[in-house]
A and B are shown apart, each in its own frame.
Chain A
Amino acid sequence: MVQKTKQARTGAECSAEAMRQINPDVVAAYPITPQTPIMHAFSQYVADGKVDTEFITVESEHSAMSACVGSSAAGARTMTATSANGLALMWEVVYIAASTRLPIVMNVVNRALSGPINIHCDHSDSMGCRDTGWIQLYSENGEEAYENTLMAVRIAEDPNVLLPVMVCQDGFITSHSVETVELIDDESARGFVGEYHPKDALLDTDKPVTYGPLDLFDYYFEHKMQQIDAMEHAKDAIRKVFDEFGQLTGKKYDFFEGYLLEDAERVIVCANSSAGTTKVVVDELRAKGEKVGLLKPRVFRPFLAEQVVEKLKHAKSVAILDRAASFGGHGGPFFNEFRSAFHEEKEKPAIINYIYGLGGRELDLAQLRAIFEELKAVASGDVGHNVRYSGVRE
Chain B
Amino acid sequence: MVNIRELAVEKERLAPGHRMCPGCGLAIASRMILKATKDPVVVANATGCLEVSTTIYPFTAWRIPWIHNAFENAGATISGVESAFRALKKKGKISSDKEIKFLAFGGDGGTYDIGLQSLSGALERGHDFVYVCVDNEGYMNCLSLDSLIQTEEGLKKITDLRVGEKVYAFDQKTGNLVLKRCTGIFDNGIKEVFEVSTDHHSIKATSNHPFLVVQRNGKQTRSSLAWKKLENLKQGDEVVTLKRIAKGKSYTFKKIIASKKGDYKVNKINPVTLPKRTSPELMEFFGLFVGDGWVREEKTEVGFALPEKKEGRNRLIQTFRKAFGQDITSFDKLYVYIYSVNLSRFITSLGFGKGAKSKTLPSWVFTLPEDEKEAFVRGLMLSDGYKLGESNRYVSASPELLRTLRLLLQTMNYRVGKIHIQTKKKGTFVVYRKLLEDSSYGYIAFSRKKKPDMKRYLSQIKQRDYLADNQWFSTEKITSIKLVKKEPTLDLRVEGEHNFIADGIVVHNTGIQRSSSTPFGAWTNTSQVGSAHQGKEQFRKDLTAIIAGHHIPYVAQASIHNYVDLLKKAEKAFNVKGPAFINVICPCIPGWKISSNQTVQVAKLAVDTCFWPLFEIENDVWTLNFDPGENKKPMTEWLKLQGRFKHLFRPENQDRLEKIQKHIDERWEWLKKQCGK
Q: Is B72 an interface residue (CB 8 A)?
A: yes
**Given contacts A43-B526, A176-B189, is CB(A85)–CB(B486) below 8 Å?**
no
Binding stretch for chain A, among B445-453, B464-472, B510-518 = B510-518
Residues of B in contact, count (CB < 8 Å): 35
Partner of A57, one of B71, B511, B514: B514
B-chain residues with CB within 8 Å of residue A40 when the two chains form the complex: 513, 525-526
Q: Is A39 an interface residue (CB 8 A)?
A: yes
A118 to chain B, nearest CB (A): 10
**Given contacts A85-B70, A119-B509, is CB(A47)–CB(B529) below 8 Å?**
yes
B379 to chain A, nearest CB (A): 43
The A/B interface has a contact count, at CB < 8 Å, of 94
Q: Is A364 an interface residue (CB 8 A)?
A: yes
Which of A36, A39, A362 is packed against the most chain B CB atoms within 10 Å?
A36
* A10:B527 contact, CB within 8 angstroms: no
Cα of A64 to Cα of B361 in the assembled complex, Å:
46
Which of B114, B189, B192, B511 is packed against the most chain A CB atoms within 10 Å?
B189
Q: Is A33 an interface residue (CB 8 A)?
A: yes
B-chain residues with CB within 8 Å of residue A373 when the two chains form the complex: none
Q: Which of A174-193 contact B (CB under 8 A)?
A: 174-178
* B190:A120 contact, CB within 8 angstroms: yes
* A46:B187 contact, CB within 8 angstroms: no
- A contact face: mostly helix, strand, loop, or mixed: loop
A36 to chain B, nearest CB (A): 7
* A362:B526 contact, CB within 8 angstroms: no
* B189:A59 contact, CB within 8 angstroms: no
* A59:B114 contact, CB within 8 angstroms: yes
A-chain residues with CB within 8 Å of residue B57 when the two chains form the complex: 116
B-chain residues with CB within 8 Å of residue A48 when the two chains form the complex: 528, 530-532
A-chain residues with CB within 8 Å of residue B515 when the two chains form the complex: 59
Q: Is A392 an interface residue (CB 8 A)?
A: no
**Given contacts A43-B526, A59-B114, A117-B47, is CB(A49)–CB(B532) below 8 Å?**
yes
Partner of B531, one of A10, A49, A57, A114: A49
Q: Is B116 an interface residue (CB 8 A)?
A: yes
* A47:B70 contact, CB within 8 angstroms: no
Q: Is B533 an interface residue (CB 8 A)?
A: yes
Q: Is B488 an interface residue (CB 8 A)?
A: yes
**Given contacts A46-B533, A85-B70, A89-B72, is CB(A120)–CB(B187) below 8 Å?**
no
Q: Is B113 an interface residue (CB 8 A)?
A: yes
* B189:A173 contact, CB within 8 angstroms: yes
Q: Is B188 an interface residue (CB 8 A)?
A: yes
B-chain residues with CB within 8 Å of residue A10 when the two chains form the complex: 186-187, 189
A-chain residues with CB within 8 Å of residue B113 when the two chains form the complex: 59-60
A-chain residues with CB within 8 Å of residue B359 when the two chains form the complex: none
Q: Is B473 an interface residue (CB 8 A)?
A: no
Q: Which of B91-116 contact A (CB under 8 A)?
A: 112-114, 116
Q: Is A326 an interface residue (CB 8 A)?
A: no
Q: Which of A97-141 contact B (CB under 8 A)?
A: 114, 116-117, 119-121
Query: Beyond A173-B190, A364-B192: 19 further Cβ-contacts under 8 Å?
Result: A10-B187, A36-B525, A40-B513, A43-B526, A43-B528, A46-B530, A48-B528, A48-B532, A57-B514, A57-B526, A59-B112, A59-B116, A114-B70, A116-B57, A172-B187, A172-B488, A175-B189, A177-B187, A362-B190
Sample (27) of A-B pairs whose CB atoms are under 8 Å apart: A30-B114, A31-B513, A31-B525, A36-B511, A39-B525, A40-B513, A40-B525, A43-B526, A46-B530, A46-B532, A46-B533, A47-B528, A47-B532, A48-B530, A48-B532, A49-B531, A57-B513, A57-B514, A59-B515, A60-B72, A116-B57, A119-B509, A172-B187, A176-B188, A176-B189, A177-B187, A364-B192
Nearest 4 CB-CB pairings of A with B: A47-B530, A59-B113, A177-B189, A176-B187
